[in-house]
Amino acid sequence: MEALLSQLPIGLSIAAVLLLAALGLTFTFGQMGVINMAHGEFIMVGAYTAYVLQDWAGRQAVVVALPAAFLTAGAMGLVLERTAIRRFYGRPLDTLLLTWGVGLVLQQLARDIFGAPNVQVRAPGWLSGGIPMFGSQVPYTRLFILAVAALSVLAIWAYQNRTRQGRRMRAVMQNRQLAECSGVDSERVDRLTFFIGSGLAGIAGVALTLIGPVGPNLGTYYIVDAFLVVVAGGLGRLRGAVAAALLLGLINSYAEFWTDASLAKVIVFVATVAFLQARPQGMFVLRSRALT
């Protein structure tokens, strides 16, 4: 029992990483139907933002980089949406190919600027060490990632439910045609949604610098898991993303405890596919009066 409980904090920390990586996709994929394969590269942009800020902020670069990475990745996502993606709305396979090519370009650009070898971002001194929990030592860095994930979810919930723009986002997500008939500028909502989704990917990249080194391929390690979280939770559903990230993180933690890291990934993937066979619309489905 003690061994099983010791995996619980690890599973929660994995869930926090998955949730941060998937939060942006929850809205860009769920609302706009855009299969953004460059989302992983926006995660990489956030991580490199923290690396660049080290020269100025030192060991506090991770904290300073959180808002900076949000703005940087969000601005890049907005440029991508305005210049290319908006021409492919309603054509998800085309957006997949387009953003996959953009992701490759961004990876090569990162190699040209920062080099191919991985680089390290130093964590603040106050994140050194850990706290005993269930017979294991939980690093403060993992707890910090949990806190960032929780604050991000809270901020998104408040934005959607307490602001005018957030309610417009929900309206477009639920019924785009009816929202447009009600006077909502859906194009403006799409731009803002893509900016927020890409910015959240930047925050995820900053959090990932606390786990390991930063490299041009950083985003490719998490993009598939992020899509699994979005699809399993239900397209565009915030609570679905939280629940799916929590469940997949715990499955990954316990599967890795009994097997190894590679086989644990396979188990998570198989479990997700089996779940979607039984419930293809995900954990939480948007209720509608539509006949189709």
Cα distance between residue 65 and residue 111, in whole Å? 21
The whole-number pLDDT of residue 3 equals: 66
Whether 222 contacts 17, CB under 8 Å: yes
% the chain with pLDDT above 90: 31
Q: Which residues pair with 100 in a beta bridge?
A: none
- Supply the DSSP string of 119-131, one letter for each residue: B--PPPGGG-SEE
The whole-number pLDDT of residue 289 equals: 47
**Residue-averaged pLDDT of the chain:** 86
The whole-number pLDDT of residue 110 equals: 95
- Average pLDDT in the 228-236 region? 84
Bigger pLDDT: 287 vs 115 = 115
The lowest-confidence range among 4-13, 74-83, 243-252, 264-273 is 4-13
Bigger pLDDT: 6 vs 144 = 144
- The whole-model pTM stands at 0.90
Q: Please report, for the chain, the start and end positions of each structural domain, with discontinuous segments joined by +.
A: 2-121+129-278
Please write the tens of the pLDDT for every residue from 191-214: 898 999 999 999 999 999 988 899
Please write the tens of the pLDDT for every residue from 157-180: 999 889 998 888 888 877 788 888
Q: How is domain 2-121+129-278 classified at the CATH fold level? A: ABC transporter involved in vitamin B12 uptake, BtuC (1.10.3470)
Q: Which residues pair with 130 in a beta bridge?
A: 139
